Amino acid sequence: MKPNLHPVYQTITAHCQCGNTFETRSTAKGISVEVCALCHPYFTGKQRLIDTAGRVDRFRRKYATAPATDATAPATEPTAPS
């Protein structure tokens, strides 16, 4: 068997954006996460809407229904040239 084949599996401290830190094991030197068990909506029961640069508003404007047109007006068909 080759020596030093496997990476070093060590205890590290992971940092969350909410400020929470916790210990875990990894081959990486450090881990930074966006959400953890203390700030994730599934575990906290609180829902946060994260709107990055107005994406929700842009989506609503893009897929908003057009103003209602007169649906009872007969559609005009182009006539064939004679």
Rounded Cα–Cα distance for residues 49 and 27 (Å): 33
Q: Residue 30: pLDDT above 70?
A: yes
Class of 10-62 in CATH: few secondary structures
- For the chain, the residue count is 82
Greater model confidence, 20 or 75: 20
Instruction: Please give the pLDDT value at position 2.
Output: 85
CA geometry: angle 54, 58, 64, nearest 5 deg:
145
Whole-number pLDDT of residue 24 = 92
At residue 77, the pLDDT reads 64
pLDDT surpassing 90 at residue 26: yes
Q: Where are the domains of the chain?
A: 10-62
